[in-house]
A = this chain, B = another copy of it.
Amino acid sequence: MNKRIEITAQTKQNLIDAFWSLYREKRIENITVKDITQKAGYNRGTFYEYFTSVYDVLEHIENSLIPSLDQLPPVSTPSGSLGMPIEAFFTLFNQNRQYYAVLLGESGDPAFASKLKNSIKPTIIGIFTNEPPAARIELDYILEYTLSAMIGIMSFWFNQTDPIPNEKLHKLIHRLMEQGVMSQLFS
């Protein structure tokens, strides 16, 4: 039976794909519903059966990229990466690399970076439930600092024409986290 569902799922996906191929090229404010449906080969009205607006499509894509972070492996704290699941971060970023590169880039959506950070925070905070409240508040700031830094450097890396090797970046981040920025600047 379910032929209907397949059709709608396909139509929806076609619209999403058309949107994305436009979004990679131009700012969202210049993308019209007409553009999308023309590219996907549907009537403009059909769009509204699936989405409420152009921004709704973006939202849909973003939300589909966030849940994969619930799949953050239970944060082990091996001596190598005290409390910060850098490896896990790496893996997840790479999985959706093509989307993250755009969404976190300079013509991306700042709300996405926030969503991303906020979805990761609870996992890490969970490790520090025993800490006193004062340290807890400071933790919020440290987390924001670190996650911003991670997202920043990964996004930068994604968008390089000639990026440094995976392994090299990996080690650099480790050093930055464990020894700070200053000690790395004068080597």
Residues of chain A at the chain B interface (Cβ within 8 Å): 28-29, 55, 82-84, 104-111, 113-114, 128, 135, 137-142, 144-149, 151-153, 156-157, 164, 169, 172-173, 176-187
Contact B145 A157 (CB under 8 A): no
A139 to chain B, nearest CB (A): 8
Contact B106 A110 (CB under 8 A): yes
16 A-B residue pairings within 8 Å (CB atoms):
A28-B29, A82-B186, A83-B186, A106-B110, A106-B113, A110-B110, A128-B185, A141-B153, A141-B156, A141-B157, A141-B169, A145-B149, A145-B173, A149-B149, A152-B152, A179-B180
Contact B152 A147 (CB under 8 A): yes
Contact A148 B151 (CB under 8 A): yes
Q: Which residue of B lies closest to A114 (CB)?
A: B106
Choose from B107, B179, B182 the contact partner of A110 (Cβ within 8 Å).
B107
Q: Which residue of B lies closest to A115 (CB)?
A: B106
Contact A153 B144 (CB under 8 A): yes
Which residues of the partner chain B approach A177 to less than 8 Å between Cβ atoms?
180-182
Which residues of the partner chain B approach A110 to less than 8 Å between Cβ atoms?
104-110, 113
